Amino acid sequence: MRRFAMTVLLKDDPEIIRRYEEYHAAPWPEVVEGIRGIGVRRIFIYRFGRQLFMFMETVDDFDMQRDFPKYTADPRAKEWDELMRTFQEPVPGAPAEETWVEMEEIFADDHTA
């Protein structure tokens, strides 16, 4: 299993934040199926203010650059992705044209008690 942590900002508008959360309360089935189909096993999105944090657990050989484009090859998943991007803006320092940016893992306690 691989882990990914990513972040993005929502636009600074309470209505946009409300709508974003509303969509995620009932995601389109093609979105959920598409994400599972590319090797994402679990996905969580958290919000603090307008900052989003996404945590994904994937299959061992998952590669973001190779596998994510397979997800957006589905027209419905692409529509979802494009729609969600209308609610988002990049965090300061994000590469040009990027919304979600990968975060570097700096600590992990994988020991079980």
Is the confidence at residue 112, as pLDDT, over 70?
no
Q: What is the largest CA-CA distance in the chain?
A: 45
Range of the domain at 97: 2-102
Residue 112 lies in a domain: no
Q: Per residue in 11-63, pLDDT tens? A: 999 999 999 999 999 999 999 999 999 999 999 999 999 999 999 999 999 99
Domain of 35: which CATH number?
Answer: 3.30.70.1090
Structural domains counted in the chain: 1
- What is the Cα–Cα distance from 37 to 34, expressed in whole angstroms? 5
Q: Mean of the per-residue pLDDT values for the chain?
A: 94
Residue 98 lies in a domain: yes
- Sequence-distant (6+) residues with CB within 8 A of 8 are 51, 52, 54, 88, 89, 90, 91, 99, 100, 101
Task: Quote the pLDDT of residue 22.
Answer: 98
Share of the chain above pLDDT 90, in %: 88
Is the confidence at residue 102, as pLDDT, over 90?
yes
Task: Quote the pLDDT of residue 105.
Answer: 93
Structure tokens at 25: 């309360």
Residue 107 lies in a domain: no
Q: What is the CA radius of gyration of the chain?
A: 15
Residue 111 lies in a domain: no
Cβ atoms 19, 13 nearer than 8 A: no
Instruction: Label residue 93 by pLDDT band (50, 70, 90).
Output: very high
Residue 7 lies in a domain: yes
Is the confidence at residue 110, as pLDDT, over 80?
no
